[in-house]
Structure 1
Amino acid sequence: MAPLRNTTSTRAARLESSSLPPGSARRHRFDGETEILGSEYGQPFLAEYLKTVVPEFHRLPDPSLIRPSESRAPSLTLKDLDLTRTLGVGSQGMVYLARAKRKSHPLDKPGACFALKVLRKKYQRCHAQLYVCAHMEQKDIERTKLVGIDWNPFIVGIVHALDDSRNLYLMQEAIPCGTLHSLIQQRAPFDSATASFYFSNIVCALAFLEKEDIVHRDIKPENILVAKDGYLVLTDFGSSSKKDDLTNWLLQGTPIYMSPESRQNMPLEEELRLARDWWSSGCVLYEMVTCKVAFYQVESVAEAYSRIVRGEFSWPPDIKLGKKLKAIISELLTVDAEERLGAKGVETVYDHPWLENINWRMMKARRYIAPIIPPAQLLMKTWQAHPLPKSREVPGLNVINPSIHHAYDNRFPEPPII
C-alpha cells in the first residue's frame, strides 16, 4: 500500500505561493523563517534566479532607459554623393570627382569633395579567374592594403568603400592639383634643389611603406599627385602587395618603370622585394632632371626592355648634372637588387651625399616650403578635360552635367596646372 501524501500541506503551499504579490520573491533566512520580498526587490531575484537569462541583443529595449544620442555623422552612401567631374584614368578604372550633398547631420559638410575610383565588378571577377586565385578579387581592391595602416601625409588616404550593382567605388581624399607627370611636362628639367625636394617626398612615402612591409610595384610620375602645399602624395595602390605575398610578381606595374627582376621574374628574398620600388624611384628622378624617360631613347620597345635588363642608360649631353646626382641615380638603377641603393633599408638613402642637406624630421613634418606651389584649382568652375560617364555606367551615383561652357570638348587641349 502506497504511503499517504500530505495533500493538505501541498495545497497550502500552493495557495501560499499564489497569494504572493506580483513580482515578489521568497527568501529563506538562516533562522528558518521565510521572508517575503516585495515587488521592489523581487523582480531582480526573479530575473536572476527564476528565469532563463536571455542575451542582451534578444531583449526588447526598455522604454525607461535614456540612451545616449549618437554624436558622429553616419557613413556616406552613394545617394549622398554627386558625380561632377572626371579626374583621370587609373590602372584599373576611371577616377571621378564626387561632391557630398547631405546636410541632415550637424557634422555633415555639404560640398566636400572626394576622389572616387570606380572598379568594374566584371573586371574584378575576370582578373580573379585569370590568375586562378580565390582571394584575388579582394586583393585587387586597394582598401585591403591601406585600411589597416595609419594615415600618412605622403600616401593618399582611403575614406570609404562602396558598391552598387555594377561597380566598386573606392573613396579617397581629393588631391586636385595635378600629377608629377604634368609638372614635369610643364617645368622640367628641374634643378638639383627642386629635384632633391620632390625625390625626398618619394623617399618619405617609401619609408612609410617599408615600415608597413608594402611594395607599391607601380611607381611612376602619373601615380604621384601634387597637393595644395606643393608636396607629393603617392596614389594608385592597385598593383601593390605585401612583401611576403607569394602571388605572381612577374610584369607587375608599368613596363618602362619595371626593375630587371620584375621583367625576368627573378626569385628574391622578402627583404629584397622592396628594391623594386627603389628602381622605379630612380627612373622618376632621372625623368625629373632630364625631362626624358631613362630607357626609352631607342628605336623599338624591345630594345628598351633589353636595356632595362642590362641596366644601360645614357646621360643627355645638353644637360649638366652634378656628380652626386649622377651617383644616386646610378646606384638606384643598379641591376643587382642586393647592391641597389635602398635595398638594405631606407637609412642608406637618407645618408646619401646628394641628400645631405635634407632635414628628414622637417621633411616628414612638411615644414619646408615647396619650390613650386600650384595655384588653387576651382574644379567646379573650370573646363572639363574628360567626358562624364553615362548614368547607366554608374547606376548608384547622380551625375551632374556641367554648364555648356565648362563641358568636355575634344577641340581643346588639357589646360596646364601652373
Structure 2
Amino acid sequence: MGTLRDLQFALQLKIEELRQRDSLIDELELELDTKDDLIRQLQTELDRYQTSHNAPGGVQVNSRVVRHEPPQRTKRQAISAEPTALDPAQLAHVTLTNYSKSEESRELIHRALLENEFMKHLEQGQIQTIVDCMHPTRLARGCCVIQEGDDGSLVYVLEEGKVEVTKGGQKLCTIDPGKVFGELAILYNCTRTATVTALTDIKLWAIDRQGFQTIMMRTGLIKHSQYMEFLRSVPSFQSLPEDVLSKVADVLEETHYSEGDYIIRQGATGDTFFIISEGQVKVTQQKSSNEEPEFLTTLSRGDWFGEQALKGEDVRTANVTAVGGVTCLVVDRELEAEAVFFSNVSLNDFHVICTLGIGGFSRVELVQLKSDTSRSFAMKVLKKRHILDTSQQGHILSERRIMMDAHGPFTVRLYRTFRDSKYLYMLQEACLGGELWTLLSARGSFEDGTTRFYTGCVVEALAFLHVRGIIYRDLKPENIILDQRGYAKLVDFGFAKKVGLGQKTWTFCGTPEYVAPEIILNKGHDISADCWSLGILIYELLSGSPPFSGSDPMNTYNIILRGIDMVEFPKKISKSAANLIKRLCRDNPSERVGNQKNGVKDIQKHKWFEGFNWEGLRQTTLAPPFTPTVEGPLDTRNFDCFPDDSEAPPPDEESGWDLEF
C-alpha cells in the first residue's frame, strides 16, 4: 500500500490537473462573455429597429404576445449570458488562520453549531474547521453587534453575556450564551434584517463569509480528491475512466464504527464494499462452528475489504471488526455495477427510435439499448457548430458537470456523454410521461391539488440543488417532465450553475417571463432567483399564463420591475396560494420565502401546503393527480410528433472544438 506522503503528492497532482482544466473552462467562458456582449448589442439594435417599425408580434425569441382571448401556447426558450466563474482550485492555496481556544470554548462553539438549524447540516470536518477559524471579539454593555440595514458578513457564537434582538425599534427576543446568530450573512451579501445589542459585557466568536465559503468549497474539493485516490488504489476500479471514478466518488458514503463493532460477519450476505479512511480493523475467520475465530490480519487507512460483493459473491467469508474508532467509505454493488455498465457502452450500442423534442440547438431522441430491448434512454444531441456559433461552450460544460454530480429523485439523471466529429451526446434517463407544458396546454390550467403536487416535486428538486450550491435558473413548465408514474422531474440544466453556498453570479440568465428583478437590473443573483421563478410557476399552473407578460422581452422586463403587487390575480387563484406567490416574488431577494433562515421548510409549512404529505411525496407513495399511459419503454404517445433529422452524415473531419465530453 502507498504511504500518506504518496497520497498527499497524488492529491496535489490532482489539484493541479483540476486547476488546468478549470483554467481552460475560464478561457471558454471569457470568450462566451465577449460574444454574448456583442449579441446583446445587436439585439438592442434589432429591438429598437422593430419598435420603430411597429413590427407585429414583437421580438420572436422568448416573447409572448398579449391578447384578450386565451393565447395559443408556444414553447419558450431561455436566453443567457454568463460571467467568468471563480476558479475553485485556487482555494487549495488559501491559508486559513486558526485561533487558540480553551477546550470549554471549543465545546461551546461546536455544540452551538450543531444545534443551529442551518449549521447542523454541515459535515463534521467542516464544523471542526469552522470552530478552529472563529476569532474572538469582546464588546461592552450597550454596544451594537449588528445594526439593522447595514451590510453584514459575520456570523457569531455568543459565549458570555446576553444580547437583545430588535427590529424597527421593537424587541423580538434575547439571546443567551451557546447560540448562533447572524448566519444569513455567510450565505450571501445582504443587509441585516434586525439589530443586535449587548445587554451586558459580552464575548463572541465570529467567522466571516469569505472564510466560511473557503472552508466549504475547499473541504469539498479535497475530500473528493481523496476519495478519487482511494478508488484508484482498488483493483476493481482501476479500469474505470476518470469521469466514472468521479461519479463513484460522489456516491461514497462515510460510515463510522466503534471499538468491537462488527463491520462484516462471516456467513452473512452483503452487497457492500468498504475502504478504510480512518482507523484499523481486525480480520478473523472461523473454520468450523465449534472453533474460536482465527486471527488473519489487520487492515488500516487505504486498505479495503468486501470486494467480492462487487462481483456478486455476497456470502461473507470472514469477520471484520473495528479496532478503536473506524471510518469507512462504503460503495454499494448496485451503484458500482451501474458505473461499470455505463463506462463500457458506446454510441453503437443504441438504436434511435424517434425524436422526443427539439430545442434551440439540440434535439432529444428516444434510444433503445440493442442488447436489452427493455431499456430505453433519452439521448440529447447537440451540434458542435451551433454551440460554437452561439458561444454556448461554458453552458454545455456546466450542464454536464452539474448533471453528473447531482442525482436527485426529482431531477433527470445523466448517465454518460459521448462525442464525435460533429455532435455531442448526453445519455439521460427517459421519462415517458411527457412534458408538464403539454399537459398544461391541454387543460388550460390546474386546480389547487394538482398544482400543489407538481409544485411539491419542484420544491424538492430545488432543495436538492440549492443545498449543493446549484442555481437552476430556467424553471418553467417546458422544463418539467413526468415519469411513467406521473411524478415530475426537472430536465435541461443548460443554464444551471454551481456557485457555492452564499455566492452570487451576474449577467442575464433565464426565460423573460420568469426572470427575477435582480437579474434584469444586473445586481447579482443567487438561489433566491429560483424562489422568484417558483412563484411565477405556481401562478402559471393555477391560471394558465404567467403574471408578467409583454409584447416583447423588454416590455416584459419593465412589467416585472413594477412588482407582483401590481398584478391583478384571477379569482381562480385562492387567497392562500396568492399569499405564497407574493411571498416568493418579493422584490427584495432576502425577503423571499424559501431564501430565509429555514430555507424551503418555510415554503413547505406555508398555509397553502397545509395537510400536504411531503413524506409520501419523497417516498413516492403519494398518488399523483395524473397517471400517464405508458405501455412500454418505446411508448411515446405522451410526446408531440417531430420530423426525423434528415441532415446528411457528418463529414470526416473534426469541428475544431474538443470538449472533455
TM class by smaller structure: 0.5 to 0.7
Matched residue type, 2:508? L
Residues 155, 233 of structure 1: 8 Å contact kept:
yes
Partner of 1:310: 562
Residue 303 of structure 1: SS of its match in structure 2?
helix
In structure 2, the CA distance between the partners of 1:143 and 1:290, relative to structure 1 (3 Å rule), is: same
- Give the alignment of 1:216-231 within 5 angstroms: 216-231=472-487
Alpha-carbon distance between aligned partners in 2 of 1:225 and 1:384, rounded to the nearest angstrom:
13
Alpha-carbon distance between aligned partners in 1 of 2:624 and 2:651, rounded to the nearest angstrom:
41
Structure with more relative contact order (C-alpha pairs < 8 Å, separation 6 or more): 1
Residues 411, 491 of structure 2: 8 Å contact kept:
yes
Whether 2:408 is the aligned partner of 1:152: answer: yes
Structure 1 position 381, deviation (Å): 7.4
Whether 2:469 is the aligned partner of 1:213: answer: yes
Alpha-carbon distance between aligned partners in 2 of 1:172 and 1:121, rounded to the nearest angstrom:
19
Q: Which structure 2 residue ranges, 5 or more long, are not aligned?
A: 1-234, 236-307, 313-336, 653-661
Larger strand percent: 2
2:588 corresponds to which of 336, 339, 363: 336
Partner of 2:630: 376
In structure 2, the CA distance between the partners of 1:92 and 1:209, relative to structure 1 (3 Å rule), is: farther
Matched residue type, 2:345? L
Structure 1 position 332, deviation (Å): 1.1
Whether 2:550 is the aligned partner of 1:287: answer: no
Residues 85, 384 of structure 1: 8 Å contact kept:
no
Structure 1 position 377, deviation (Å): 5.7
Alpha-carbon distance between aligned partners in 2 of 1:89 and 1:365, rounded to the nearest angstrom:
32
Structure 1 position 328, deviation (Å): 0.3
Matched residue type, 1:385? C
Superimposed CA distance per residue, residues 266-286 of structure 1 (whole angstroms, 9 cap, x where no aligned partner): 135xxxx10111111111110
Partner of 2:346: 77
| Greater mean deviation of Cα atoms: 230-239 or 88-97 | 88-97
Structure 1 position 294, deviation (Å): 1.4
In structure 2, the CA distance between the partners of 1:277 and 1:321, relative to structure 1 (3 Å rule), is: same
Residues 433, 484 of structure 2: 8 Å contact kept:
yes
In structure 2, the CA distance between the partners of 1:301 and 1:168, relative to structure 1 (3 Å rule), is: closer
Structure 1 position 301, deviation (Å): 4.2
Matched residue type, 1:277? D
Partner of 1:140: 397
Structure 1 position 163, deviation (Å): 0.8
Matched residue type, 1:81? F
Structure 1 position 138, deviation (Å): 7.5
1:255 corresponds to which of 512, 525, 548: 512
Alpha-carbon distance between aligned partners in 1 of 2:439 and 2:523, rounded to the nearest angstrom:
34
Alpha-carbon distance between aligned partners in 2 of 1:373 and 1:164, rounded to the nearest angstrom:
38
Residue 458 of structure 2: SS of its match in structure 1?
helix
Given the two structures, how large is their TM-score scaled by the length of structure 1?
0.68
In structure 2, the CA distance between the partners of 1:141 and 1:115, relative to structure 1 (3 Å rule), is: farther
Alpha-carbon distance between aligned partners in 2 of 1:332 and 1:316, rounded to the nearest angstrom:
15
Residues 275, 340 of structure 1: 8 Å contact kept:
yes
| Greater mean deviation of Cα atoms: 279-288 or 369-378 | 369-378
Residues 505, 524 of structure 2: 8 Å contact kept:
no
Alpha-carbon distance between aligned partners in 2 of 1:230 and 1:395, rounded to the nearest angstrom:
41
Whether 2:378 is the aligned partner of 1:122: answer: no
In structure 2, the CA distance between the partners of 1:354 and 1:113, relative to structure 1 (3 Å rule), is: same
Residues 91, 236 of structure 1: 8 Å contact kept:
no
Superimposed CA distance per residue, residues 9-40 of structure 1 (whole angstroms, 9 cap, x where no aligned partner): xxxxxxxxxxxxxxxxxxxxxxxxxxxxxxxx
Superimposed CA distance per residue, residues 323-370 of structure 1 (whole angstroms, 9 cap, x where no aligned partner): 111100111111111111111211211221111212322221111000
Partner of 2:497: 241
Matched residue type, 2:349? D
In structure 2, the CA distance between the partners of 1:377 and 1:234, relative to structure 1 (3 Å rule), is: farther
In structure 2, the CA distance between the partners of 1:157 and 1:326, relative to structure 1 (3 Å rule), is: same
Alpha-carbon distance between aligned partners in 1 of 2:650 and 2:456, rounded to the nearest angstrom:
38
Q: When the two structures are aligned, how many residues end up with a matched partner?
A: 311
Structure 1 position 195, deviation (Å): 1.2
Alpha-carbon distance between aligned partners in 2 of 1:241 and 1:353, rounded to the nearest angstrom:
31
Structure 1 position 265, deviation (Å): 1.1
Matched residue type, 2:514? Y
Superimposed CA distance per residue, residues 88-132 of structure 1 (whole angstroms, 9 cap, x where no aligned partner): 12354111111111x3xxxxx23421111112222344455x8xx
Superimposed CA distance per residue, residues 290-346 of structure 1 (whole angstroms, 9 cap, x where no aligned partner): 0112111x45543321011222453354x3332111100111111111111111211
1:277 corresponds to which of 496, 517, 530: 530
Superimposed CA distance per residue, residues 66-88 of structure 1 (whole angstroms, 9 cap, x where no aligned partner): xx998865622111111221111
Partner of 1:346: 600
Matched residue type, 1:349? I
Partner of 2:363: 94
Superimposed CA distance per residue, residues 108-163 of structure 1 (whole angstroms, 9 cap, x where no aligned partner): x23421111112222344455x8xxxxx54753522112123x2220001111111
Structure 1 position 243, deviation (Å): 2.3
Residues 119, 167 of structure 1: 8 Å contact kept:
yes
Structure 1 position 393, deviation (Å): 5.4
Give the greater-gyration-radius structure (CA): 1
Whether 2:585 is the aligned partner of 1:326: answer: no
Structure 1 position 389, deviation (Å): 1.1
Tell me the percent identity: 31
Partner of 1:355: 609
| Greater mean deviation of Cα atoms: 356-365 or 244-253 | 244-253
Output the aligned Cα RMSD. 2.9
Partner of 1:14: none
Superimposed CA distance per residue, residues 194-227 of structure 1 (whole angstroms, 9 cap, x where no aligned partner): 1111111111111101121110111110000011
Matched residue type, 2:377? F
Residues 90, 236 of structure 1: 8 Å contact kept:
no
Q: Which structure 1 residue ranges, 5 or more long, are not aligned?
A: 1-56, 58-67, 104-108, 131-135, 397-418
In structure 2, the CA distance between the partners of 1:221 and 1:205, relative to structure 1 (3 Å rule), is: same
